[in-house]
């Protein structure tokens, strides 16, 4: 049975490769014997990957109410926040000030950090054919190892995380990402999933900007500074 399964790039079987073949984390339909074969084959596979992909989360998208016209910059409880407990007004101003995660409940912060990392995984894979070996894109059962590094980078950026952040909160964030919720580090995620889940077409952009502040690198090496300025102008003073 194992010999009937082959690497999509080099055609090695599990027996020939000396290890278990790993499935593409997105479509679950294509097998690879190594990270090298997966990244090399991406230019070919990406044409069909999206069509083969299926949403494996199994979680319903929460209803989203119409956005508020309140122009206050404080966080307020709102159904319009989607899965978040609060809605942050003028989020791009907050991102510019590096306080986007401040003033939010703990679980909201955990959720956004996890989804910023998952958005980064997807961008790295789809734009650069790059994957973390210890992530679901590299064939691991979950991305805890790679996400821990992401958190360490966030902790190294002065003021980026809320004042209540601590090693205990980092551990709680990781446990949150290993739960069976929508934000599970066991699942890949795409831009449209983020938009549907949060009910906000600008959420992927915000998560990418947070990623840039954490890793000092935007998607495919592109800076989001100009886009941030445009969005701040749209938000007004």
For residue 207, the SS3 value is helix
Contacts of 15 (CB under 8 A, 6+ apart): 2, 3
Residue 89 and residue 73 in contact, taking contact as beta carbons nearer than 8 Å:
yes
Reported as a single tens digit per residue, the pLDDT across 202-231 is 999 999 999 999 999 999 999 999 999 999
Minimal CA–CA distance to 84: which of 231, 228, 194, 208? 194
Q: What is the per-residue pLDDT across 16-70, written as a single tens digit (0 to 9) for each? A: 666 778 778 677 788 888 877 887 787 678 767 766 664 433 433 333 333 333 3
Give the chain's end-to-end CA distance (angstroms, integer): 64
Domain ranges, ordered by start, for the chain: 2-52, 75-235
The set of residues, in sequence order, having a beta carbon less than 8 Å from that of 35 and lying 6+ positions away, is 131, 133, 138, 139
Count helices and strands (H / E) in the chain.
9, 4
pLDDT score for 210: 98
């Amino acid at each position: 049975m194992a010999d009937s399964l082959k690497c999509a790039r080099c055609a090695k079987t599990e027996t020939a490769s000396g290890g278990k073949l790993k499935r593409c984390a997105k479509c679950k339909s294509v097998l690879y014997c190594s990270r090298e074969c997966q990244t090399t084959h991406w230019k070919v596979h990406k044409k069909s990957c999206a069509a083969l992909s299926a949403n494996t989360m199994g979680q319903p998208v929460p209803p989203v109410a119409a956005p508020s016209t309140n122009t206050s910059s404080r966080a307020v409880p709102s159904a319009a926040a989607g899965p978040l407990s609060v809605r942050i007004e003028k989020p791009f101003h907050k991102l510019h000030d590096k306080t986007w995660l401040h003033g939010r409940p703990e679980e909201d912060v955990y959720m956004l950090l996890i989804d910023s990392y998952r958005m980064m995984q997807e961008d790295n894979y789809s734009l650069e054919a790059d994957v973390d070996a210890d992530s679901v894109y590299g064939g691991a059962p979950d991305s805890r190892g790679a996400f821990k590094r992401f958190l360490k980078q966030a902790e190294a950026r002065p003021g980026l995380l809320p004042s209540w952040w601590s090693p205990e909160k980092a551990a709680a964030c990781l446990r949150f990402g290993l739960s069976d919720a929508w934000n599970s580090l066991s699942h890949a995620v795409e831009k449209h999933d983020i938009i549907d889940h949060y009910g906000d077409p600008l959420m992927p952009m915000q998560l990418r900007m947070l990623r840039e502040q954490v890793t000092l690198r935007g998607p495919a090496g592109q800076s989001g500074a100009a886009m941030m300025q445009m969005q701040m102008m749209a938000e007004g003073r």
